[in-house]
Amino acid sequence: MTLFGTSGIRGPVGETVTAALALSLGRALGVDSQRVVVGRDPRASGEYLQSALVAGLRESGTDVIDAGVAATPTVARAVGWRGADAGVSVTASHNPPADNGRKLWQPSGQAFDSGQQDRIEERIDENAFEPAAWDAVGGVESFDARPRHAETIRAELDRETLSSRVVVDVGNGAGGVTLDVLNSMGAHVETLNAQPDGAFPGRPSEPKAENCTSLSTLVAESDAQLGIAHDGDADRMRAVAGDGTYLSGDELLAIFARAAAESGERVAVPVDTSLAVADYLAEIDVGVEYTPVGDVYVAEAASEDGVAFGGEPSGAWIWPDTTLCPDGPLAACRIAALDVDRPLAERLADVPTYPIRRDSVEVESKAAVMERVRERVLSAFDDVTTLDGVRADLGDAWFLLRASGTQPLVRVTAEAREADRADEVLSTARELLADARK
């Protein structure tokens, strides 16, 4: 059984994600955990899935700290605050309301790594669990971690006020802590979709450009200086400049990274990140360290010495000097602070933009095709990374061939500083894939 993807366990409720699986997960996690923090996003299925998870933990003799409906970064941070051994967020993050899942957290705030995930899967597969004695079952304690999260973010910002006019699209999710911090620091805040509702009636949960048109329009047509958008569990954050421009993930990554890193340091980014980020950071002698796609891998790299920041263009941002979890509310308040110091639209004008080409090709036997692709690319190019798929750096361009984690597809991405070159490199990548499919 393979339960964990690039960001925990996630899938359709009643199919991939069931109460039976939640019970088994609780039992498996309880084997070596004395205390676990548990919270959830507002999805309708979250309440009973959390109840099943808690039952499994308590049956193992594990005490539970119940954070209720809470942002995923609130749960992740609470593990360390309460001296717990692990944390679990019952969430499908930015997925549609019919999905749910779980994200597991270490005391450092970092997600469970691959070794920890494998141990949990093995225990579930083998039903490797012993119930506690009838008089040794775990207890339950309620803990509203939201005020502690807000206080922590205020301290991490290291400033007294934020004189911003901000529109925050909470996306009907659990990201209200962003409002708590901004309001408490004197910002003028207007909200969209602020009522938690796991059906996400205001907009789809993922805060991508096409789902944030109302936010962009409101910012552009009002006196707001900034727009913020979260997903359902608020681990992601995306931004809109004061003129209504929605920033791409690569643009926002470049701005955050340049503000966080100093000369000689590095930032951790996934292999599908734009070349523009590396070029922009090279201007201040900051290097880029590539990771597999997934915030758990970015967090692992961000924990290394000399890495000042980690980010994914999807909207996950990690400041390792504060926490190793992607913290959407922290990111929202940091971008508000940056905008006060210099408007986001001005910062954006400094970030280069390059033509990027994407394609998806349906294949049979993904693993076999990707192995042949790997051999061909390694033999044909000098600078090749195989961390996640196969990425070839051509100096003025790059391409990535990467198997989809959920579909019978190979994703093809190519980018260059010039449009014609991007088309040429995409064609090269397609030819390599076509040859490997023969």
User: Which CB contacts under 8 angstroms, 24+ apart, belong to 394-401?
Assistant: 394/425, 396/421, 397/275, 397/421, 397/422, 397/425, 398/275, 398/425, 399/425, 399/426, 399/428, 399/429, 400/271, 400/272, 400/429, 401/370, 401/373, 401/377, 401/429, 401/432, 401/433
**Coil, helix or strand for 10?**
strand
293, with CB counted inside 10 A (0-12, 13-18, 19+), is buried
Nearest Cα neighbor of 177 from 163, 159, 156, 158 is: 156
d(CA 203, CA 217): 14
Integer angstrom CA distances of residue 129 from 29, 102, 282: 9, 20, 51
Non-local CB neighbours of 74 within 8 Å, separated by 6+ positions: 39, 67, 145, 146, 149, 174, 177, 234
Query: Which one, of 49, 46, 51, 43, lies nearest residue 19 by Cα?
Result: 49
Query: 303 an active-site residue?
Result: no
- How far apart CA 34 and CA 107 sit, in angstroms, is 13
CA–CA separation, 400 and 293 (whole Å):
12
Asked if residues 170 and 179 have their Cβ atoms less than 8 Å apart, the reply is yes
Strand partners, 415: 356, 398
Contact in structure between 118 and 104 (CB atoms under 8 Å)? no
Closest CA to 417 of 251, 312, 279: 279
Which of 7, 45, 60, 93 is the catalytic position?
93
Bridge-based pairing of strands 140-142 and 165-169 is: unpaired
Name the residues annotated as catalytic.
93
